[in-house]
Structure formats: structure tokens, C-alpha cells
Amino acid sequence: MGHTVREWMSSPVIFMDPDASVSHAMTVMRRRNIHSLVVDLDEGGYGILTTTDIRDKIVAVDRDPKTTTVKDIMSTPAVTTRPDSSLKECSLKMQSLNVHHMPVADESGMLIGMISAIDIFAAVEEIGWEADD
């Protein structure tokens, strides 16, 4: 499959403050119909908060999202991919890291988008799959 991450990523990246409550983050995610937020860390780098983090670290353990901060449950560090990566390369990287969302960073390291397993699924469903020869 010769299609790139740039063609299927969502943009812009939605950021969340690490000190925000998980409840606030959940509201942002629901209203924007997204499943992940990037957390800009004070010490540099990024974290990521996903619906999986909320399921596993809030719901499953009966934790209060109003009193829990994003930094308490986010996954870190967030590993990025490049916009010119193929969907296959990105898919394999996501699989090896056991993640479903990856921020997309340009050559300067600036985040320009987000790619998810659902985006890759949509690409395969829409354009089909051609095995590399």
C-alpha cells in the first residue's frame, strides 16, 4: 500500500493540559468526537491520553475522573510517526508498540496531525490493500 500517513491523519492535533481533570478531557473528547488527546509535557516531549487509558485507569478501577488529572493516567512518552510514512510502516510501528493512536510530527518535530488504527482501517476499507511485491 503506497498511501501515506499524511493522506489519512486528522488535523489539527488537540492538546490537553496535564493538570486538567480527566473529566474535562473526556468532555473535550466527546464533543470533538475524538479518541485521543496529546499532552504537552513541561519537561519536553509529549504524553497521550486515550479512551483506552480512561477505560483501564478510570472505569476499571472505579477512579473519580473529576479528581484525577490527565498526567495521572496518560501514557508517556507518546511515540510519533512521520507524515511521509506509509500506512503499512505506521501500522507495523503501532502494532509493535501496542498502541492505537500516534501523533504525526513533521521534520522539525512539530505535531501536525494524529493517525489512529481506525484511520488505517478506513483507508484499507476505502482503497483496498495491495501487498508489497
Q: What is the pLDDT of residue 126?
A: 86
pLDDT at 133 over 50: no
Domains of the chain: 5-127 (3.10.580.10)
- As a whole number, the mean pLDDT across the chain is 93
Residue-level length of the chain: 133
**pTM of this prediction exceeds 0.85:** yes
**Do 80 and 104 form a contact (C-beta atoms < 8 A)?**
yes
Confidence tier at 128 by pLDDT (50, 70, 90)? confident
**Do 47 and 74 form a contact (C-beta atoms < 8 A)?**
yes
**Do 88 and 99 form a contact (C-beta atoms < 8 A)?**
no
Interior angle at CA 50, CA 45 and CA 54, nearest 5? 120
Q: Which has the minimum average pLDDT: 33-37, 52-56, 57-61, 125-129?
A: 125-129
pLDDT at 129 over 80: no
Q: What is the pLDDT of residue 2?
A: 53
β-strand pairing of 111-116 with 46-50: unpaired
3-state secondary structure at position 58: helix
Place of cell 474535562: 24
Distance CA 59, CA 71 (A): 16
